[in-house]
Amino acid sequence: MNTSTTFIVYASLFAVVIAPLAFGVYGLSRRAAASAPRGSWDWRLSLNSGLVYAFSFGLIFFIQELFLVVPKAFTPGLKPTLFHNNHHWDGANPLAHLFQGTGALAIVLTAIGFSLWFKLRPPRSATMRLFVLWTAFHGYFQSLPQVVVGSVLPQNDVGMALRYLELGLATRLTLAIVALVLIVILAIAFVRPLLELATQPGEVATPARRAGFMLRTASLPALLALPVIVAMRVPGSVDQVAIVPVAEFVIGVFWLQAAAWWVRPRGTGQAMPAGTAWGAAAAVIAQLLIFQFALRPGIAFF
């Protein structure tokens, strides 16, 4: 490993592993008394959260691959094919390397759009609110890490685009550091709206209760969603099937859990309680069937 790669590796480990773990452990050491009743575990909210997390992951990944394929479909000499967990193309054109960055661009724009949706017209339903939040979350945390990796790895999709643009090492490293800072800022920004899904003030009254609510509402559901996400993406190489969802969980969800004790919600009961999970389950099953039976064989865009 050269010096720049080593620097990015250590900076990334600090930003997405060491820092959240240390911050979370410090928060758990704090004790505060609360007079409000704790409240019971809302299993419906947890179940809906896990299913929506899985569905939103697949949706964002599909948007990324679609917008990796579409620009190539209009480029002379390229014949792209879309799959459920990847894409490839036949032929040659120098623009193909530039268009390896259009997928990440598309999903970060999608994330911004969903963030604006939540800010301007937050859904009243807890399940729909989870859909908007998790889709924005996946958009950011499937795109920004690609900038970090692409700054030092030419084979990465974004790395190909950065090198097509002939960006120097200093510029690429600057982009990587900016992306790492944004990862931390955005992850912490998602904490408050997730905590505000609580229906009673007592559920999030103390640092420990906020950490517990985040565990039940986001961290544990996201962890249990990983096998569902992997099922959508098999068969394929390890990086196509498992590395991306696991890496995103570590990069994003670690900070959600670590910062939960510190962030105070502005209020509770802002959304209608989550209903049954049948709708979310049906959406996940439909997505799984589409991925495995329609997209897995490949759809040619030529």
Q: What is the reported pLDDT for 275? A: 86
Give a yes or no: residue 34 inside a domain. Answer: no
Give a yes or no: residue 33 inside a domain. Answer: no
Helices and strands (H and E) in the chain: how many? 15, 3
Q: What is the reported pLDDT for 158? A: 96
* pLDDT tens digits for range 231-240: 999 998 887 7
Task: State the residue range of the domain holding 148.
Answer: 3-22+43-89+96-300
Give strand pairing partners of 299: 82
* pLDDT tens digits for range 54-98: 999 999 999 999 999 999 999 999 999 999 999 999 999 999 999
* pLDDT tens digits for range 112-137: 999 999 999 999 999 999 999 999 99
Q: What is the reported pLDDT for 3? A: 87
Give a yes or no: residue 31 inside a domain. Answer: no
- pLDDT category, 38, cuts 50, 70, 90? low
For residue 230, give the nearest of 284, 272, 270 by alpha carbon. 284
CA Rg value for the chain: 20
Give a yes or no: residue 147 inside a domain. Answer: yes
Give a yes or no: residue 106 inside a domain. Answer: yes
Give a yes or no: residue 183 inside a domain. Answer: yes
CA distances from 68 to 61, 74, 87, 238, 282 (A): 11, 11, 8, 20, 28
How many domains is the chain built from? 1
Give a yes or no: residue 296 inside a domain. Answer: yes
* pLDDT tens digits for range 133-152: 999 999 999 999 999 999 99
Give a yes or no: residue 29 inside a domain. Answer: no
Place of tokens 């997390």: 53
User: What does the mean pLDDT of the chain come to?
Assistant: 94
